[in-house]
Structure 1
Amino acid sequence: MTRDQLIEYCQNEYNSEVDKPFKHFPDYVAIRHPNGKWFGLVMNVPANKLGLSGTDEIDIVDLKVEPELNSILQVQPGFLPGYHMSKTHWISARLDKFNSVDDLADLIEGSYNETM
């Protein structure tokens, strides 16, 4: 799945707004409720900053999840502790490990609902 597919899905499904809130990270995209609170953050992060080997950039999305679900997901392929977020309440999903947005649709919906 690509970052553009994820962003387009969120805009269509949740009428979300997107912006680039970080001057020093121009490719980071916040996916927001109409009220301004974000429920997803798409980032391109060097692998070594995620605890992985190498320095190639990896597209990830941070999504808010319940702590119990977070502990289950963190040991599943494609998931990492929330990058630059609360490791208890946020999970990072590697976009290159998922075939389509459908693979993350339930987590996106959960994050949307958790952040209202």
Structure 2
Amino acid sequence: MTRADIISYCVNEYNAVVDHPFKHYPHYAAIRHPNGKWFALVLDVPADRLGRNGHEVLDVVDLKVDPELNAILQEQPGFLPGYHMNKTHWISAVLPDWNTVDQLADLIEGSFNATK
């Protein structure tokens, strides 16, 4: 799955607004409610910064989740503690580890609802 897949899904499903708020990280995309509060953040991060081997740049999406669910998800393949976010309330899904947006749709919806 690609960053474009996530962004397109959120824009179409949630009428999200996308911007790039970080001057030094122009590829980071905040996916926001129409009121401006973000519910997802798409980042490109070197694999070694994510605790993985190599220097390949990987796209991840940060989503807000309940702390108990966060602890469970961090034990599953494809998930890491929220990169660049509070690691108790945010989880990172490594996009190349997923085939379709549908696999993350429930988490996206949960993040959207948790950040209203």
TM-score interval (norm. to shorter): over 0.9
Give distance in 2, aligned partners of 1:84 and 1:15: 24
Which blocks of at least 5 consecutive residues in structure 1 are unaligned?
none
Letter in 2 for 1:49: R
- Give the 4+ runs in structure 1 shifted more than 6 A: none
SS state at 1:104 partner? helix
| Correspondence for 1:16 | 16
In the alignment, structure 1 residue 54 sits paired with structure 2 residue 84: no
CA distance in 1, matches of 2:76, 2:89: 16
Q: Does the residue aligned with 2:45 lie in a helix, a strand or coil?
A: strand
Long gaps (5+) in structure 2: none
CA distance in 1, matches of 2:84, 2:28: 12
In the aligned structure 2, how far is the partner of 1:68 from the partner of 1:106?
A: 16
The TM-score normalised by the length of structure 2 is 0.99
- Secondary structure of the 2:62 match is strand
Structure 1 distance, partners of 2:92, 2:23, is 21
Name the structure 1 match of 2:73: 73
* Secondary structure at 2:75 match in 1: coil
Counterpart residue number, 2:32: 32
Give the corresponding residue for 2:84.
84
CA RMSD between the two structures? 0.4
**Aligned pairs, how many?**
116
* Distance in 2 of aligned mates of 1:2 and 1:76: 20
Counterpart of 1:95 in structure 2 is 95
TM, length-normalised to structure 1? 0.99
